[in-house]
Structure 1
Amino acid sequence: MIDPSLGRKHHKPTCAPPVRPLSQNRDFVILWVSQSISALGSAVSSVGFVLLTLTITGSAAHAGAVASIAAITAVVCRLPAGSLADRRDRRLLMIAADLGRALALSSLVIAGTIDQITFIHIAIVAIVEAALSSCFQPAETAALRFVVASEQVTQAAARYESRTHLATLIGPALGGILFSAGRVVPFLIDAVSYLASAVGLTLIRRPLSTTGGNRAPHPSRGFVSAGLRWLWQERFVRGAVLWFAGVTFVFQSIGLVCLLLAERHGAGPAATGLLFSITSTGGLIGALAAPRLVARFQPRTLITAFGWVAAMVTPLLAVVHSAYLIGVIGALAFFLGPAANASIIGYILTHVDSTLQGRASAAVHFLSGILLPTAPALAGVLVQWLGAVPTVLLYSSVLFALAIVTTTARSLGVRQR
């Protein structure tokens, strides 16, 4: 049975907000601030999961297993979560996900207080958090369209990028400091951040779904996969997402290689940490510049520029001998990423029917992230077989191939504005 929502014309959310600068849009500011706090809490606890597992088990393999299980859970839950975002009240869905994650993390805090934490408990909490985060994400993306005017959607998506990069810059170091203060402190902070997110969502005045609920059709065969079908029918989205999946896979893989290269060049823990901070700074600066970039350049221009810059600077990792220079190379590679990503998200939010936005967003994240759980393992195997420098050159060749595709692919020529 064909999903009826696929044939509908696009329509704008009801009660479209008046056009005003995003900085003066109360609902957008509340959403941005609350989700920035939540993202920072998640970055803090992500380090906490690794350190806590190492403390409890003394095994790096167990720490890697927790991360892999969480990543696989997120991928498996993504498409059904998009369906939920289109069938249920998005505000209530996000609040429920926040409260569920806060409760799961609080169980670790309580267990740690009485010294009863086990590896199984850590793994279960990681799975629950990953599943509920998958439920939250498509509803959050779809809700963004309801708090800003339609002509500001791409700008809002660009500004929204900064929250993740700010958390990535500050969170890991803060997580390590908080873990030193107490091994359950990072999880307490993250639980509080989820409560702050839930409070922020209650303070947003505008509806985050169409009037009377999302009005998605009653679930039928193919309802969950409708987002994938829409994505495949949209030339620009299909091409951009497949390209982005390849780029993110390479970046996820090459992070481990950068760590090994830094250690080979004599970098200690402090220098290695600074390496990743420098790289994150490049992403944050790019996120701050993203609103101007998406306003000035077409999506294809941003995607192509991002692809070529990444392809040209990545081979330099094979010849530099400083952890700090490795960080600078990473910063250059990441700089245009937020603008390219925002242009894709902006296109989706302005072109897909409001009753399909959750599933479309979930489909994009599903395809772009489906290979990520295997990336670190593959990088480790390649480094062991080939060595770090040949692995860098191999990944660089993949980036060059992807850059050529972005330059020649007709599907990326769709104009957004």
Structure 2
Amino acid sequence: MSGRTALLRDNRDFSRFWWGQALTALGARVSDVCIPLLVLDLTGSALWAGALLTVRLIVLNVARLPAGALADRWDRRTVMIVVDLLRAVLWAVLAVAILTGVESVWPLAIVGVVDGLVSSIYNPSLAAALRHLVRPDDITKAVSLNESRSYAASLIGPAVGGGLYAVAHWIPFAVNAVTFLFCTYLVIRITSGLGGRHVTQERLTSDMWSGLRYVFTQPFLRTLTLWSAVLNFATAAAFFGMVPMLVGLKTPAAVIGAMSAVTAAGALLGSLIAPRLVATGAFRAVILGGVVVAGAVTAVAVVPSMPVVVAALALLGATAPVLIIAMTAEVYHVVDDSMMARAQSTMTLVGSLLYPISTIVMGWLLQYHGPGPAYGVMAVALAGCVLFTLARPVRAQLSPEPVASRPLVPEESRHAY
């Protein structure tokens, strides 16, 4: 913990970067919980509420590959400033529309589409900029701090958003707009270069395909991406299935509602302890995390009861950030800066391809086969990931060395504090 605190205290540029993203993460969680509430108030339709969120996700994923190529071409600081200003205006206009009594879902739909588009280029720019702000041996701590920030926002944001929405429907969206303005100010104050502007003579489509080729021709990145796709599918299905299973066990609604807090608290704890685990070797941390996740899901399959589900949720929540931090830190070691945004966009897109069908598959398994077989299938998928990773040919492709033992970028490319 002291090393993480020292990084925030001593590295002013990273501190500005981190606090800016902490504010916008909180603002996003505040508004996220209010969008479906507002849609339900306007239309009374759960279908509309789900459709708007789905449209944003579709736009975000469709735009990932071209956005990643553009993020490598353009100056990352400029991208972050322009996008944050645009989002500030976007959410402020929405807040004004609500305040003045606009009773239509179309402003929300437009905000969702535009926000999805600009987020598709902002996110890889953000990820690629991190390596320019911290020294190579601090990258794991920085990634851990970023994960802690996200989980803390998920823990606090929904309650804050619900409270503000109860006061006045427009306030949560105005708060979100203000967080983007503060983030813009903090990014402007960063003195280090954030990379980007990698000159290319290729067409945009060629740059997009080069990102795909880059990921799938490197054994480590290819294995990690496919591993993530299965892991995301199985864990998303496991999380989703626990709610209908608890309902079937006649669990009180208040207890079910507290499950998200248990998961978020576990994730926050996991993000705090992850650097120590990853310091022993990213490969070991990934294997250990995979075993814990598979074990937790197996326990639910064997003993589908409320205490086991609660324990499994806490374990899954605590293990997820360990896996994310270990994988992300290793990616920073092997991906060249000129390809970082494209690689990040490609890996995120492919890693989330199975995510949309996870809830449907789990719902079908629960409906027709019950919780034991449903969670048994997910446990087998997760155990298969671990066994696949332990296979000798795959282990030869992966690096078990501690993160701090290898340079992140060439010495001349490192930015001073």
Task: State the TM-score bracket (shorter-chain normalisation).
Answer: 0.7 to 0.9
Matched, 1:327 2:310: yes
Matched, 1:234 2:218: yes
Counterpart of 2:167, as a letter, is A
Is the Cα contact below 8 Å between 1:27 and 1:147 reproduced in 2?
yes
CA separation of 1:384/1:175 partners in 2, compared to 1, >3 Å: closer, same or farther?
farther
Aligned residues: 393
How far apart are the structure 2 equivalents of 1:98 and 1:268?
A: 41
1:265 corresponds in structure 2 to 249
Is the Cα contact below 8 Å between 2:236 and 2:358 reproduced in 1?
yes
CA separation of 1:164/1:383 partners in 2, compared to 1, >3 Å: closer, same or farther?
same
Alignment of 1:248-263 (within 5 A): 248-263=232-247
Matched, 1:202 2:170: no
Tell me how far 1:415 sits from its aligned partner.
Answer: 3.7
Equivalent in 276, 299, 317 of residue 282 of structure 2? 299
How far apart are the structure 2 equivalents of 1:413 and 1:374?
A: 29
Equivalent in 349, 352, 375 of residue 366 of structure 1? 349
Tell me how far 1:349 sits from its aligned partner.
Answer: 2.0
Tell me how far 1:112 sits from its aligned partner.
Answer: 1.2
How far apart are the structure 1 equivalents of 2:119 and 2:253?
A: 30
Tell me how far 1:102 sits from its aligned partner.
Answer: 2.1
Alignment of 1:85-104 (within 5 A): 85-104=71-90
How far apart are the structure 1 equivalents of 2:336 and 2:222?
A: 17
How far apart are the structure 2 equivalents of 1:175 and 1:407?
A: 44
2:11 corresponds in structure 1 to 25
CA separation of 1:248/1:128 partners in 2, compared to 1, >3 Å: closer, same or farther?
same
How far apart are the structure 2 equivalents of 1:122 and 1:378?
A: 30
How far apart are the structure 2 equivalents of 1:272 and 1:196?
A: 36
Query: With structure 2 as the length reference, what TM-score do the two structures score?
Result: 0.88
CA separation of 1:70/1:253 partners in 2, compared to 1, >3 Å: closer, same or farther?
farther
Alignment of 1:168-207 (within 5 A): 168-207=154-193
1:403 corresponds in structure 2 to 386
1:3 corresponds in structure 2 to none
Tell me how far 1:190 sits from its aligned partner.
Answer: 1.7
Q: Deviations over 1:329-353 (max 9, x none)?
A: 1121232322322222222223222
How far apart are the structure 2 equivalents of 1:411 and 1:101?
A: 44
Tell me how far 1:367 sits from its aligned partner.
Answer: 1.3
How far apart are the structure 2 equivalents of 1:217 and 1:40?
A: 36
2:137 corresponds in structure 1 to 151
How far apart are the structure 2 equivalents of 1:371 and 1:379?
A: 12
Matched, 1:283 2:267: yes
Counterpart of 2:62, as a letter, is V
How far apart are the structure 1 equivalents of 2:116 and 2:164?
A: 22
Matched, 1:105 2:94: no
Q: Deviations over 1:162-195 (max 9, x none)?
A: 1111112222232222222222322222222222
2:38 corresponds in structure 1 to 52
2:27 corresponds in structure 1 to 41
Alignment of 1:132-151 (within 5 A): 132-151=118-137
Tell me how far 1:202 sits from its aligned partner.
Answer: 0.8
Tell me how far 1:225 sits from its aligned partner.
Answer: 2.2
Tell me how far 1:286 sits from its aligned partner.
Answer: 0.7
1:4 corresponds in structure 2 to none
List structure 1 runs of 4+ shifted beyond 4 angstroms.
none
Structure 1 stretches of 5 or more lacking a match?
Answer: 1-19
Equivalent in 128, 139, 143 of residue 114 of structure 2? 128
Query: With structure 1 as the length reference, what TM-score do the two structures score?
Result: 0.88
Is the Cα contact below 8 Å between 1:41 and 1:171 reproduced in 2?
yes
CA separation of 1:21/1:122 partners in 2, compared to 1, >3 Å: closer, same or farther?
closer
Tell me how far 1:311 sits from its aligned partner.
Answer: 0.7
Tell me how far 1:197 sits from its aligned partner.
Answer: 1.6
RMSD over equivalenced CA pairs, Å: 2.1
Does the residue aligned with 2:178 lie in a helix, a strand or coil? helix
Q: Deviations over 1:93-122 (max 9, x none)?
A: 011111222222223212211221322322
How far apart are the structure 2 equivalents of 1:186 and 1:393?
A: 41
**Identity across matched positions, percent:** 31
Tell me how far 1:306 sits from its aligned partner.
Answer: 1.1
Is the Cα contact below 8 Å between 1:382 and 1:391 reproduced in 2?
yes
Tell me how far 1:145 sits from its aligned partner.
Answer: 0.6
Equivalent in 330, 338, 342 of residue 347 of structure 1? 330
How far apart are the structure 2 equivalents of 1:100 and 1:32?
A: 20
Is the Cα contact below 8 Å between 2:34 and 2:161 reproduced in 1?
yes
Is the Cα contact below 8 Å between 1:162 and 1:284 reproduced in 2?
yes
Is the Cα contact below 8 Å between 2:239 and 2:313 reproduced in 1?
no
Counterpart of 2:398, as a letter, is G
Q: Deviations over 1:367-409 (max 9, x none)?
A: 1122323333333343333344432232222222222222223
